[in-house]
Amino acid sequence: MIIVSQNKERVLWFGRAFNALEYNEDISKKGKQETVRHTICISDGCLEEIAEYDSKERCLAVLKDFCGAYEEECYTSEFFDQAAQAQRPATYRKNIVYQFPEK
């Protein structure tokens, strides 16, 4: 699956270029003022921001939408049948997303 960053400056290939997308909350303080940033990051050993939203809930909704788009994507599987010495037709398969249940 291809992902385009929020600012449209990066195109990423999910499954080849990185391992995960994750929500990240960054809290910074300047004096008494506290700033909270809610972002979605690529996780491949370090975090690289690809999108920022107003709340954690919005980030989680975007991640859920990403999973839905991934589920709707189909791929083909072709294989060579040694017994028939021919290539079998491709089969179309849908991706599956498993979500761990809450307690």
**Is 95 part of any domain?**
no
**Is 91 part of any domain?**
no
Q: How far apart are CA 103 and CA 74, in angstroms?
A: 32
**Is 88 part of any domain?**
no
pLDDT tens for the chain, 103 residues long, are 677 788 887 777 776 656 788 899 999 998 889 999 999 998 877 888 989 999 999 999 999 888 888 878 776 666 666 666 666 666 667 777 766 677 7
**Is 50 part of any domain?**
yes
- Whole-model pTM above 0.75? no
Work out how many domains the chain is built from and give that number: 1
**Is 80 part of any domain?**
no
Which domain, by its residues, includes 30?
A: 2-72
